[in-house]
Amino acid sequence: MCFHFETPEKPDSFIAFLEKHGFSKTQVTNIIRRQPHLLVFDIEKTLFPKIEFLYSIGFSKPDLTKLLTSYPGLFRTSLEKQIIPSFNVLRNMFQSDDKAIKVIKWFTSILSRNLDSQLFPNMDILRRNGVPESNIVTMLLRQPRTLMFNSVRLKEIVEEVKRTGIDSSRMKFVEATFALRSMSKSTLEKKFDIYRRWGWSDQEIHEAFRKYPKCLTVSEDKIMAVMDFLVNKMGFNSTLVAKQSSILRVSLENVIVPRALFAQELLSRGLVNNDLTLSALFDASEEVFLRSVEYVGSGSHQAKPRLNNAAKWGFPGQRQRVETLAWTLALSTAFFSHLLQSDPSMFILSNIKTWVLPRICSGSFESCSLEDP
């Protein structure tokens, strides 16, 4: 679209107005490219009041530059008829200005939407199906975009989730609903086909979904990569992954590969029992994972487990070996993951065999550094 100005006064004034409020030249250019009509708007009557209102409810100058650059259409939205009423609805819903502002930051166009026709009907559908108000509000706060879509499709999805047996009073019901909402039917079928390719039955896929709804939102590439590593390289039965589908959310490079290969080497040397579960290996946070294998010695002739898990896993009682294991486990995600190459499993396995494990057995970490060969 091309505009012709008799004088540069209006466009210059608009650019000066934005720069005065902290917009960079790049941001100004992006706004004009996306909303060229703004060049002819009356700054004092149309643009300035909106900026003032957003400042008044708690947005900072950096907030506003980011907000309006990502969604310059807000400049064209009526302040009195749309922006203020929408903000008041959000503030009343959350009983908090800060939470309303958080939602606007995540999904700025919500201030321009007709909430009566796009939001409230979907909230009513969830209520009628037994979803607690607190869960609806929580989901809106976390992912405001998810509730702004076709009500007919939402009804279909809610019925699909109900058939899985997930209790509608649980937060997992809402998570499952919006996991399905995030993809088309064709994409959903592709995800099913990928899991079937790894030997999962439809019943196992539905069970995995019940346990961890987001297993269907994981990208196709990541599903293939995680399953290939766990099944083909580590030898896990694919149905075990179906029973612990939450591990699909975990980073392959930073968590799964280092921990799995490290555990494999410990098992091969008899340092742990062979009853390690996928959950124990991959679902635990880094802190919990390290604590599960850390012993604290209380004297030269005895060592006590800090957590029951450590005793259950059957680590030997030598204080130095176990303390060294904890140190090495820290490296498994900090050091090894940093050094991942095109074939991470072979690289890490090689380093564990040639550098880490010999030092575990000899207790020779005291003087080594990351530069050691």
Structure confidence by residue, pLDDT tens digits, 257-310:
887 777 776 677 666 666 667 777 787 777 776 665 543 223 333 333 332 333
CA 189 – CA 204 distance, rounded (Å): 15
**Once rounded to an integer, what is the mean pLDDT over residues 193-199?**
95
251 contact partners, CB below 8 Å, separation of at least 6: none
**Do the beta carbons of residue 10 and residue 3 sit within 8 Å?**
no
Helix axes 151-163, 171-181, angle to 10 degrees: 120
Beta partners for residue 295, in sequence order = 305
Helices 319-334 + 257-268 axis angle, to 10 = 150
Query: What average pLDDT does this structure show over 143-160?
Result: 90
Q: What span, in angstroms and rounded, lies between the C-alpha atoms of 325 and 318? A: 11
Residue 341's pLDDT band (boundaries 50, 70, 90)?
very low
Distances (CA, A) of 9 to 6, 25, 42: 9, 18, 12
> Confidence band (pLDDT; 50, 70, 90) for 354?
very low
pLDDT of residue 10: 79
pLDDT, one tens digit per residue, over 28-72 is 999 999 998 888 888 999 999 999 999 999 999 999 999 999 999
- Strand-pairing partners, residue 305, are 295
Residue 7 — pLDDT band, cuts 50, 70, 90? low
Q: Which residues have a Cβ under 8 Å from the Cβ of 368 and sit 6 or more positions away? A: 359
Distance CA 181, CA 185 (A): 9
CB atoms closer than 10 angstroms to residue 20: 9
DSSP-assigned beta bridge partners for residue 299: 302
- In angstroms, the Cα distances linking 209 to 197, 216, 218 are 17, 7, 12
Residue 153 contacts residue 185 (beta carbons within 8 Å): no
Distance from C-alpha of 362 to C-alpha of 154, rounded to nearest angstrom: 60
Tokens representing 159? 């019925």
Rounded distance between C-alpha atoms, residue 155 and residue 167, angstroms: 16
Whole-number pLDDT of residue 255: 83
d(CA 78, CA 81): 5
Query: What does the pLDDT look like over 153-185, one tens digit per residue?
Result: 999 999 999 999 999 999 999 999 999 998 888
Residue 159 phi, psi dihedral angles, 5° rounding: -65, -40
Closest CA to 257 of 339, 370, 165: 339
- Cα gap 278→263, rounded to integer Å: 11
Cα dihedral 288→143→83→66 (10° resolution): 60
What mean pLDDT comes out for the span 114-136?
A: 94
* % of the chain with per-residue pLDDT over 90: 51
pLDDT band at 149 (very low <50, low <70, confident <90, very high): confident
pTM of the model: 0.69
**Higher-scoring residue by pLDDT: 356, 304:** 356
Q: Which residue has the higher pLDDT, 349 or 143?
A: 143
Does pLDDT of 359 surpass 50? no
Least confident stretch, 45-49, 155-159, 241-245, 357-361: 357-361
